[in-house]
Amino acid sequence: YTAEHYDARKEQPGWDTPDFDAKGWRNIYTTGAPSNNIVAQALHPIRNVREYRPVSLKKIDEYTWLYNFGQNMSGVTRMKVNGPQGTTIRLKHVERLDSAGCADMSNIDVHYRPTDDSDPFQTDILILSGKKEDDFMPRFNYKGFQYVEVTSDNPLDLSEENLTAYFMHSDVPPVGKINSSNNTLNKAWQASNASYLSNLFGYPTDCPQR
């Protein structure tokens, strides 16, 4: 329901290589198997099926930028950005805008009951390393969105190249398509198909935001 928090200052280069010195890490815990019958997954894999570039980018102020990807989707975004060490960036994923053209989450965060603002709904939090270009894409969650409001506690000069969106779902092969002379019918089919795929993550869900 919320998102990922990533502190790039804590990265340990080489942690995934055989020669990495992990003496400061805690030992693993052993546990029993979840089932006596362990088999390969039979479902279609969940993948980033399609990449979307922003169709527009609006600078709201020195600290806030609004990306529009032109398509409501389930998935994640990937941010590549440089900035001072310790800069905190928040990426709020929403489906609509308010009357002022800013991110509006009132249609979905009504279902969320936080105790404080440390873990906001559908909002990734990235803390920059300050050493290089930080490259962040969530690995453990997804959102439902069309717009992403990027806010920073330090002024940042962003462009359309800094953020990419990925439509994520079970990578099922299509078995049919509707294409008619009626544009309204075509759009209705496209919207229905996209809505179904946005709610297909191993099994059907009711909505991708929560």
Q: Is pLDDT at 42 greater than 90 in this prediction?
A: no
Question: To the nearest whole percent, how much of the chain has pLDDT over 90?
Answer: 77
- Distance CA(35)–CA(200), nearest Å, equals 25
pTM for the model stands at 0.91
- Burial class of residue 46 in the structure, from the number of CB atoms within 10 Å of its CB (0-12 exposed, 13-18 middle, 19+ buried): middle
What's the average model confidence in pLDDT over 69-96? 97
pLDDT of residue 210: 65
* Architecture field, domain 45-204: Sandwich (2.60)
The per-residue pLDDT for 209 is 78
* Averaged pLDDT, 86-111: 92
3-state SS assignment for residue 8: helix
Cβ partners under 8 Å of residue 20, min gap 6: 12, 14
pLDDT the model gives residue 149: 98
* Residue 66 token pair: 């609004």
Q: Which of 100, 89, 97, 153 is nearest to 123 (CA)?
A: 89
Is-contact 200 208, C-beta < 8 A? Answer: no
